Amino acid sequence: MEIIDKTKDKKEEQWQLGDVVTDGINYGLVITDDSSDYMVLNFKGINQYTTGQSSSYESMKKLQDYYSDWHKVNAKLVIE
């Protein structure tokens, strides 16, 4: 999997399910768990993923607060 970051501005936007987010080094995908709580699936390399956290959050606002140094990117996921 390759991620192509096409970010032009780091606008403060509301995250939604399926958004790609980054802290400038790491990338993640906003998902929900089995309980419909929000979390970020972090990309660690080819076929390696982790949530990077021990819990999920009941609201998108709480998730964004936890990942306060991350921002949404205009990205394209390429799956080969």
Rounded to an integer, what is the distance from CA 29 to the centroid of its chain?
3
pTM of the full structure: 0.72
- In contact, 43 and 28? CB cutoff 8 Å: yes
- Tally of CB atoms within 10 A around 9: 8
**Two structure tokens written together for 42:** 């972090």
Alpha helix (H) ranges present in 1-80? 60-66
pLDDT in tens, the chain (80 residues): 566 666 655 555 789 888 988 888 888 889 898 888 999 888 765 556 666 665 689 999 999 998 888 988 887 666 66
